[in-house]
Amino acid sequence: MTEEQNILDYIPYLFDRPCKTLLTGRDNVEFDIPSEMLIARYKPIKDDIQKKTKHPNRKTVKVKSIVPPPDLSEVEKIKRNESFSLFNPTHRERAHKLIRYLMSISDSESFFAACIYYRDRLNTQLYIYAISVAILHRKDTKSVTLPCNVKVFPQFYLNNEDFAKIQEEITVIPETKRKPILVQLRPTANDLDIEHRVAYWREDIGFNLHHWHWHLVYTTGSTQADIKVVKKDRRGELFYYMHQQMIARYNFERLSNQLARVRRRNNFEEPIVEGYYPKIRDLSTNRDFPSRQPFSFWKDVHREIASDGTVVEVNHVYRWRDVIMNAISDKQLLHENGSYISLDSEKGIDYLGDVVESSILSINPKRYGDLHNAGHELTGYIHDPEYKYLEDVGVMGNNATSARDPLFYLWHAYIDDIFVAHKESLAPYTKEELEFSGITVEKITVKVDGGQDNILCTYFQQDETEISNGLENCKRGFVKVRFIHLQHVPFTYHIQVNNKGAKRNGTVRIFMAPRKDERGEEFTLRQQRRLFIELDRFVYTLQNGSTLIKRHSKESSVTIPYDQLFSPDKKENENNDYYCKCGWPDYLLIPKGTTQGLPADLFVMVSDAEKDFVPDTNSQTFCEKKECKSASEYCGLRDKKYPDKRAMGYPFDRLPDTSLISVPKLKEFRAPYKNMKAKKVVIKFDPEVREMPNEDDEKLLV
């Protein structure tokens, strides 16, 4: 193994206690950093620091000198101990300035040295974000696996009460005597606030890790110089579809808890009824995330005197919304070069996604603005829009924490309405686009392990993860937290398909939606189609005659397993890459349901895989790689085209054709097509928490 390959093995150490200098060493490794690369504070005391932490069995890693580095003084203007927000254009530009430099470095040794050089100089959150994006996109770091974010910034996922227990355990108890610390399902409110019923879902660690990671893969950039890390196949459409699925799943969860579907925030003058008190701390700033009182109002943000320099006004959002909606009405976008881009059925949603978010792929940012990001900023600074009280941004200003806030869903439901307006302007799918001649889905059965057919079972389960590498200002040593999350009993789809023709491939698409609304009335198809969550999508070879397709829930191409999400620092093979960590947590595949049983519709469609096929995606369609399990529906494939030619959400992304027959409900929609079938299922919730077995029958620290 070459020296260049060796140095990549030490990249994970860059994420270890990122607020602390690497001069102190980590585990059995110490870094020999040239004095000229150290900050002024450490230069005269380098030997003293290393002598204090010296360990006789440590391996010394020599770091290459890269002095003088390029001038990144603009990036250094964001102080190490202040908050960082990618929704802030100034912060975004400075982060991507560092990313551009890291991407330009030709060799691995120099890249690692540059990461070392800037680690003690730059804002901690900016630094971790920038090196993560660079590692994800550099060719020489494809084999590098990084710690998941809960092991880098555990404070974004655990509340202050949990950290008090952690501090006590790590300070007082010897490492060999420590017990896992149980993180209770403690919502950030009580029963007086009905929104707390779904706090277990909004504040779930794995779900928020997914959201953080997705935005690492699909970074927005700040200038056209960032095109190398931003431009990906169907990126704008993925922004639409991934967030649409988040909203659909959230609504499914709300109906499981006797709550109405989420309201759209479409009147920006109205007060925001929902308050939010996050009860989490940003350890890099040593401040709690600010709270938002109920009935707060959006106000113009003018923080020119703050280091973030944020300026965004409510009328900007109105203006950008109107211009975008007019473009949808006209079925075309105006390019900044004066030409018009058609919002057609093939590429329109992709252009629109880049415009609405917006990323550097927006075809006219001056005209269409920064709509999605501005909503996050107006909410994130709602508590101190003029910087009178020197407060930092709230949870809506951070991709690691924004999905915890109920307002995230009101805002994204509104953003989704914009995309739906475009989708509803398109012609319905024709018979030819929906059918698969000669293919009949005859029967669907869901076989639940140890349970009744077609009754999906959910419950709360304990799991644990180790977080000591992210604990600043604490002694070294093993620290585990045990937390509670939603889980389902594993199951297998049994799908009987008949093929009247020769052997051919079909794409099996599996969706599920709640059958009844908050009043107990059955949904119309126009309502229900926006609530369908995708459960799986895969290619299957159909022999002539009858074929029984068996597909286990753990094989879902939407999800990734727990160990892959929470233990990414375990290097399984040389081909493991950071895309493998992108995906919906498999334990959240199925919504909670109710103790009585929530009725739902399971929908299966088999489409023609030859028409769905996209070249340059390998034969392992939908990222069913041997080296990792990735959720390509939400994350795409690294350096390849999205592995499905159909529109994301097909066949429910457009309105049904009602010109010939009435299509009030799902039954009427699928009736003309033998390649579609629906099955009534029930989701039943067991409220008992299933505990993990404790070693030596020791009790947890509760």
Half-sphere exposure of 487 (CA within 13 A, CB side): 16
- Does pLDDT of 701 surpass 70? no
Between 477 and 90, whose confidence is greater? 90
Q: What pLDDT was estimated at residue 661?
A: 75
Reply yes or no: is the peptide bond before residue 278 cis, omega within 30 of 0: no
Domains 3-144 and 194-423 are alike in CATH topology: no
The kind and range of the H/E element at 385 are: none
Nearest to 606 by CA among 457, 520, 495, 532: 495
What per-residue confidence (pLDDT) applies to 625?
43
The whole-angstrom separation of Cα 533 and Cα 432 is 24
| Range of weakest confidence among 258-262, 438-442, 657-661 | 657-661
Query: Buried b vs exposed e over 443-474: b needs ≥16 C-beta within 10 Å?
Result: ebbbebeeeeebbbbbbbbbbbbbbbbbbeeb
Is the pLDDT reported for residue 545 higher than 80? yes
314 residue type, one letter:
V
Q: What angle do CA 222, 225, 231 make, to 5 degrees?
A: 80
User: What's the rounded mean pLDDT across residues 89-103?
Assistant: 95
Neighbour count for residue 51 (Cβ, 10 Å)? 9
pLDDT tens digits, one per residue of 601-623 = 999 999 999 999 998 755 444 44
Q: Which helix (H) or strand (E) holds 74?
A: helix 73-76
Continuous segment of H or E residues that includes residue 327: helix 314-330
Q: Is 262 exposed, middle or buried (0-12, 13-18, 19+ CB in 10 A)?
A: buried
CB atoms within 10 A of CB 527: 15
Task: Give DSSP secondary structure letters for 476-489.
Answer: SS--EEEEEEEEE-
**Distance separating the N- and C-terminal Cα atoms of the chain:** 47
Helix (H) / strand (E) element for 598: namely strand 598-608
- Which of 191-205, 557-571, 617-631 ranks highest by mean pLDDT? 191-205
Residue 161 to residues 181, 188, 278, 599, Cα–Cα distance (Å): 11, 11, 12, 37
Question: In the prediction, which pLDDT does 170 show?
Answer: 83
**Across 32-36, 99-103, 183-187, 624-628, which has the greatest mean pLDDT?**
99-103
Class of domain 3-144: mainly alpha
Alpha helices in 567-619 (DSSP H): 609-612
Beta strand 455-466 with 545-552 is unpaired
Hey, how many other C-beta atoms are within 10 angstroms of the C-beta on 115?
Answer: 23
**For residue 686, is pLDDT > 80?**
yes
Q: What is the pLDDT confidence band of residue 629, given thresholds at 50, 70 and 90?
A: low
Query: Comparing C-alpha atoms, which of 115, 96, 77 is closest to residue 225?
Result: 96
628 falls in which pLDDT band (50, 70, 90)?
Answer: low
Q: What proportion of the chain, given as a percentage, has pLDDT over 70?
A: 93
Total-model pTM: 0.94
Q: What is the predicted pLDDT for the residue at 620?
A: 44
CATH topology of domain 194-423: di-copper center containing domain from catechol oxidase (1.10.1280)
Residue 579 binned pLDDT confidence (cut-offs 50, 70, 90): low
Q: Residue 697 pLDDT more than 80?
A: no
Closest CA to 401 of 124, 86, 182, 134: 86
**pLDDT number for residue 400:** 96
Residue 265 has pLDDT above 80, yes or no: yes
Predicted pLDDT of residue 434: 98
- What residues does 507 pair with on adjacent strands? 539, 607
The one-letter code for the residue type at 82 is E
Provide the token pair at 420.
Answer: 């739906």
Q: How far apart are CA 649 and CA 353, in angstroms?
A: 14
Average pLDDT of the residues of the chain: 90
pLDDT of residue 574: 42
Cα 611–Cα 616–Cα 617 angle in degrees, nearest 5 = 75
Highest mean pLDDT of the ranges 164-168, 360-364, 572-576: 360-364
pLDDT digits (tens, 9 = 90+) for 46-74: 888 877 777 777 788 999 998 788 889 99
Can you give the pLDDT at residue 143?
83
Q: If we measure between CA atoms, which residue out of 670, 666, 681, 692 comes closest to residue 553?
A: 681
Could you tell me the CA-to-CA distances from 287 to 22, 566, 699 in Å, in that order? 24, 26, 32
List the beta strands (DSSP E) in 489-555: 491-499, 504-514, 533-542, 545-552
Statement: residue 582 has pLDDT above 90: no
Between CA 538 and CA 541, with CA 539 as vertex, the angle to 5 degrees is 145
- Residue 626 scores a pLDDT above 70: no
pLDDT given at position 618: 52
In the block, tokens 């107990």 appear at 520
**Euclidean distance between CA atoms 232 and 456, whole angstroms:** 36
SS3 442: strand
- Which of 292, 280, 310 minimizes the C-alpha distance to 401? 280
Q: How many residues are given for the chain?
A: 702
Q: Is the dihedral of CA 256, 259, 265, 268 positive or negative?
A: negative
Question: What pLDDT score does 696 carry?
Answer: 47
In the chain, where the domains are located:
3-144, 194-423
Between residues 321 and 307, the one the model is more confident about:
321
Phi and psi at residue 289, to the nearest 5°: -65, 135
b/e per residue 307-327 (b: at least 16 CB within 10 A): ebebebbbebbeebbebbeeb
- Summarize the confidence of residues 115-123 as an average pLDDT: 94
Q: Report the C-alpha gap between 169 and 700 in whole angstroms.
A: 12
pLDDT category, 1, cuts 50, 70, 90? Answer: very low
Percent of the chain with pLDDT over 90: 71
For 277, residues 6+ apart whose C-beta sits below 8 A from its C-beta are 188, 189, 291, 292
What are the tokens at 614? 């996209």
Residue 274 is among the residues annotated as catalytic for this protein: no
Q: What is the pLDDT of residues 377-413, one digit of tens each?
A: 999 999 999 999 999 999 999 999 999 999 999 999 9
- Helices and strands, number each (H, E), in the chain: 22, 20
How many CA atoms lie within 13 Å of 38's alpha carbon, on the beta-carbon side? 18
Active-site residue identified among 357, 377, 534, 633: 357
Say how many C-beta atoms besides its own lie within 10 A of residue 397's C-beta: 26
